[in-house]
Structures are given as structure tokens and as C-alpha cells.
């Protein structure tokens, strides 16, 4: 019941802002359910993967497939960096001491809080207008960084991908949201494949029921949150969620 409730609450929070909510789930896995840092990242990655697989078909209904195929070069550009970043990030996470990983995760939660506020309150609306060659190089670098961060935290990375797509390529934010899922999915699979080579990956086999129940709660919560999208004004909701991430970061730092 605790796993189901926590998963639903996290999904609800994420769904209300159009995201999966994995960044809120990570501190719960460590602080409430007692997983070691690397175990929590792997469990979070598995749940994030399931949520993305559920969300992608729904997004494809909202955004026509033709609109996505028009931007296939953007996806390729970001994927070229994010796939390498995902492998590198997962490799770094498996080599970190638990105490170090706690502090890295705390710092990344602060980054997510900042990205959340910037994207939803003062988000980018215009492209940087960079030359194509420069744009491609920046896209590679951004993709690598986002892939690494997503792998280390066990999240999909939409909080960082969406503003990057809008700012760098000037794509409408609605299309950017779906495009970010298309980039996230293969990126997550690469990170998942890297984690599967580590001994800590056995946490999934030994906690199958927990993972299934919390994932079900997360998916249900995300769908419910999507229905409530816009009910709570962003000027109220976003600062509260950012504050939750900052409090979680402090607790993780001290853990």
C-alpha cells in the first residue's frame, strides 16, 4: 500500500505539470523505502521506462506522427549525444561510493528544481538562432549532458530535454514534449543496458512485487495528473514542487 500510494502521489505531481515525476520518486526510494543510492537509481530507471512507454502512445495521439517526422534530424542530433551520455552516466554511477552518489544526486535535484521553475514559469519561447553547424555541435553536447544526468538519476530527462529542444531548435513546446519522449526512450534503454551489467541490478529481481506495484501507482497517478493539468495555477504549483525538490536535495546530502 505504501508503494502504491507513493507511486500514485509521485505520478500525480508529475502528471499535473506534464512530466513523469521520477525526480520526486528518487528521494522516496532512498529516504522512505531504504534502498541504497545505486539500487534506487536502477529501480527509478525501471519505473521511468514503464511510465515513458505508457505516455508515448498517448502523446502520439495528441501530436500527429507527421509533425514528429518533420523534426527527425533534431532527434538524431540529440540522440547522437544522449546515447553516449547515458552509457557514460550509468558507468559513473556504478563506480561512485554511496556517499558520493548521494551528494551528486542532491546536486542534480537542485538542477531539476531550477529547470522546473525556468521551464514552466519563464520558459524559452524563441530559438537561439544558431548557425546549423554550431547548432549540431551544441545539440551533441547538450544531448550528452542530458543523457548522463538522466542515467545517474534514473529519470527520463524531459525536464531538461524539452527546454533544450525549444531553445536550441525553436520547436513548439507541445511537439517538443513528444519529441523528448522519443529521444528519452532509446536513451533510457542504453542506460538500463549498462546498469544490467552491474551487480546492483539484482535489486529488480529481489523486489519485483514492489517495483510492479509502485510502477502501477505511478502510471495511474500520471494519468490522473494529466486530467488535472492546469487545474492548479503554475504560479502556485511550480514553486511548491521546486521547494519539495530542494528539501529532498538537502535530505539526500545529509543522508
From its phi and psi, is residue 129 left (phi > 0), alpha (psi between -120 and 50) or beta?
Answer: left
**Furthest C-alpha separation in the chain:** 53
pLDDT value, residue 123: 66
- 213-237 burial, b if ≥16 CB within 10 A, otherwise e? bbbbbbbbbbbebbeeeeeeeeeeb
Q: Is the dihedral of CA 88, 92, 94, 95 positive or negative?
A: positive
Short-list 57, 26, 7, CA closest to 219:
7
Q: What is the pLDDT along the chain (255 residues), one digit of tens a residue?
A: 999 999 999 888 887 776 778 899 999 999 999 999 999 999 999 999 998 888 777 777 666 677 777 888 999 999 999 999 999 999 999 999 999 999 999 999 999 999 888 877 766 666 777 888 999 999 999 999 999 999 999 998 888 998 899 889 988 877 888 888 889 999 999 999 999 999 999 999 999 999 999 999 999 988 888 777 667 787 888 888 899 999 999 999 987
As a residue count, the chain comes to 255
Cα–Cα distance, 74 to 82 (Å, whole number): 12
The pTM score is 0.90
Amino acid at each position: 500500500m505504501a508503494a502504491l500510494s507513493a507511486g500514485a502521489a509521485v505520478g500525480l505531481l508529475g502528471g499535473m505539470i506534464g512530466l513523469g515525476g521520477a525526480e520526486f520518486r528518487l528521494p522516496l526510494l532512498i529516504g522512505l523505502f531504504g534502498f541504497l543510492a545505486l539500487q534506487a537509481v536502477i529501480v527509478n530507471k525501471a519505473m521511468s521506462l514503464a511510465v515513458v512507454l505508457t505516455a508515448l502512445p498517448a502523446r502520439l495521439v495528441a501530436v500527429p506522427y507527421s509533425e514528429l517526422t518533420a523534426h527527425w534530424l533534431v532527434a538524431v542530433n540529440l540522440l547522437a549525444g544522449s546515447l553516449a551520455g547515458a552509457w557514460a552516466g550509468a558507468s559513473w554511477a556504478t563506480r561512485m561510493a554511496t556517499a558520493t552518489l548521494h551528494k551528486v544526486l542532491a546536486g542534480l535535484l537542485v538542477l531539476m528544481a531550477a529547470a522546473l521553475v525556468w521551464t514552466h514559469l519563464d520558459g524559452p519561447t524563441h530559438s537561439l538562432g544558431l548557425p546549423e553547424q554550431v547548432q549540431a555541435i551544441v545539440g551533441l553536447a547538450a544531448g550528452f549532458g542530458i543523457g548522463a544526468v538522466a542515467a545517474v538519476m534514473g529519470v527520463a530527462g524531459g525536464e531538461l530535454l524539452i527546454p533544450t529542444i525549444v531553445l536550441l531548435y525553436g520547436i513548439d513546446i507541445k511537439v517538443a514534449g513528444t519529441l523528448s519522449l522519443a529521444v528519452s526512450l532509446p536513451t533510457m534503454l542504453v542506460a538500463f543496458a549498462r546498469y544490467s551489467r552491474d551487480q546492483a541490478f539484482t535489486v529488480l529481481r529481489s523486489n519485483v512485487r514492489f517495483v510492479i506495484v509502485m510502477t502501477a501507482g505511478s502510471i495511474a497517478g500520471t494519468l490522473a495528473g494529466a486530467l488535472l493539468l492546469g487545474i492548479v495555477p503554475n504560479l502556485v504549483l511550480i514553486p511548491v514542487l521546486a521547494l519539495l525538490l530542494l528539501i529532498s536535495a538537502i535530505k539526500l546530502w545529509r543522508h
